[in-house]
């Protein structure tokens, strides 16, 4: 009976001791687990870009004049060689200040006086010519009768030729001074003048569209004075767009011509596909919003998505571009949040039978959320995401439950 009592007491003591051990043992550390998977993976460089119409046409004024109100507006469709996009009229004369008007009036008075002198010279030349012709006729008659000598007849012919030349010169001088007077009188014509000569030809120059497309920009809709070469409007084909992106030079060296790109946040639901056509060989300096000078490189991308799947996208629209610098179809990868530094390399905590096991790994390509695993762990393994200081080698862990 005494032996049975001691045995009962021993069992009770062991049960109490086991209960104390279980009560004092720490609870498992709650963690988030992620799986190591094999899946496609892309490493991208992200940047903001802007759409641009490829090869836009800028229409400029071929001559100085006054444009009428623009016959087209932004967004209008135009046909090459058919649609009139601008009309230029002759410019009105400018106003004369007091000095310029006095000088012009004095020039008119001077031209009128010169004209009167030319008229007097012409009248004298007419008289001299008439007299020379009369003398020539008399000498010819007398020479036929043998009264005057041949020498006298030759002198009469010479005087007649001289008189004719003087008359022609006086006539030309008169025409010259008439033209000079008209030119001086034209200087007095101002915009306030109501007397205008009838045009001998078309009064305006019509400019037709050099390319079929859409009017992207009109410099001014109103009538205005323009100089030769002044821009009037721009025309482009909205279905032929490209994308311009500025990258830091350190990121641009990772992007090669022909690289694929994904364009999103442009306003539509579909992600637009694009391809890098050109990487500029020279960088330029830009000051960032923080006042830091940055060396940036301009890239140009061709849009691969058909126009019907990117309706509404126009010229100089802002887009968000992800440029693919590396990709793989079957890549062993795990979350970036599971990695931490260990002895100069990288490691993760792998879950093995409810405990955390420190596992060094070798990583390759990385992106903000995922990292490529080259060795150290196999597909299907579970790793601890965001391990805290409570997760150590061999510690018991449990999957965190939602509250």
Question: Residue with structure tokens 């990487």?
Answer: 279
pLDDT bucket at 194, cuts 50 / 70 / 90: very low
pLDDT of 11: 66
pLDDT bucket at 45, cuts 50 / 70 / 90: very high
Checking if the pLDDT of 198 tops 50, the result is no
Specify the CATH number of the domain 44-53+238-327.
2.40.30.170
Checking if the pLDDT of 200 tops 70, the result is no
3-class state of residue 100 by DSSP: helix
Q: Measure the CA–CA gap between 231 and 168, rounded to whole angstroms.
A: 51
pLDDT of 2: 60
3-class state of residue 70 by DSSP: coil
Q: Measure the CA–CA gap between 400 and 31, rounded to whole angstroms.
A: 5
* Nearest in space to 72 (alpha carbons), one of 312, 235, 257: 235
Q: Give the domain ranges of the chain.
A: 25-40+330-399, 44-53+238-327, 71-92+206-236, 98-186
Q: Measure the CA–CA gap between 44 and 42, rounded to whole angstroms.
A: 6
| pLDDT (tens digit per residue) in 348-391 | 999 999 999 999 999 999 998 999 999 999 999 999 999 988 89
Contact 360, 377 (CB under 8 A): no
Tell me the mean pLDDT in the region 311-336: 94
Checking if the pLDDT of 326 tops 90, the result is yes
pLDDT bucket at 93, cuts 50 / 70 / 90: confident
Q: Measure the CA–CA gap between 149 and 153, rounded to whole angstroms.
A: 7
| 25-40+330-399 and 44-53+238-327 share one fold | no
For helices 150-186 and 98-145, give the axis angle rounded to 10 degrees: 160
* Nearest in space to 315 (alpha carbons), one of 47, 46, 56, 48: 56
pLDDT of 195: 45
Kindly report the average pLDDT of the chain as a whole number.
88
pLDDT of 15: 67
- pTM listed for this prediction: 0.67
CATH architecture of 25-40+330-399: Beta Barrel (2.40)
| pLDDT (tens digit per residue) in 238-256 | 999 999 999 999 999 999 9
Checking if the pLDDT of 48 tops 60, the result is yes
Tell me the mean pLDDT in the region 197-202: 50
Specify the CATH number of the domain 71-92+206-236.
2.40.50.100
């Amino acid at each position: 009976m005494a032996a049975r009592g001691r045995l009962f007491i021993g069992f009770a003591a062991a049960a109490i001791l086991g209960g104390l051990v279980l009560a004092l043992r720490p609870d498992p550390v709650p963690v988030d687990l992620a799986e190591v998977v094999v899946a496609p993976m892309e490493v991208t460089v992200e940047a903001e870009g802007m759409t641009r119409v490829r090869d836009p046409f800028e229409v400029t004024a071929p001559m100085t004049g006054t444009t009428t109100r623009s016959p087209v507006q932004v967004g209008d469709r135009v046909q090459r060689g058919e649609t009139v996009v601008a009309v230029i009229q002759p410019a009105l004369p400018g106003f004369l200040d007091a000095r310029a008007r006095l000088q012009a009036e004095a020039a008119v008075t001077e031209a009128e006086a010169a004209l009167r002198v030319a008229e007097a010279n012409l009248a004298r030349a007419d008289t001299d010519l008439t007299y020379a012709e009369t003398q020539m006729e008399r000498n010819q008659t007398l020479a036929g009768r043998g009264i005057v000598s041949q020498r006298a007849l030759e002198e009469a012919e010479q005087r007649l030729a001289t008189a004719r030349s003087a008359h022609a010169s006086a006539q030309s001088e008169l025409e010259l001074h008439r033209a000079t007077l008209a030119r001086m009188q034209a200087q007095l014509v101002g915009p306030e003048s109501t007397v205008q000569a009838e045009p001998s030809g078309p009064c305006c120059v019509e400019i037709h569209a050099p390319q079929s497309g859409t009017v992207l920009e009109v410099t001014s809709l109103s009538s205005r004075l323009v100089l030769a070469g002044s821009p009037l409007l721009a025309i482009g084909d909205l279905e032929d767009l490209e994308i311009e992106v500025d990258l830091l030079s350190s990121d641009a060296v990772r992007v090669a011509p022909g690289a694929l790109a994904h364009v999103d946040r442009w306003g539509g639901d579909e992600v637009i596909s694009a391809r890098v056509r050109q990487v500029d060989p020279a960088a330029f300096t830009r000051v960032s919003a923080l006042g830091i000078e940055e060396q940036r490189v301009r890239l140009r991308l061709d849009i691969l998505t058909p126009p019907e799947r990117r309706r509404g996208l126009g010229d100089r629209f802002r887009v968000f571009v992800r440029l693919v610098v590396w990709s793989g179809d079957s890549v062993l990868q795990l979350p970036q949040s599971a990695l931490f530094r260990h002895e100069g390399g990288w490691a993760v905590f792998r879950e093995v039978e409810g405990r955390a096991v420190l596992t060094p790994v070798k990583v390759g390509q990385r992106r903000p959320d995922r990292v490529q695993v080259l060795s150290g762990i196999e597909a299907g393994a579970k790793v601890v995401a965001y391990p805290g200081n409570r997760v150590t080698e061999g510690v018991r862990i449990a999957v965190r439950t939602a509250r």
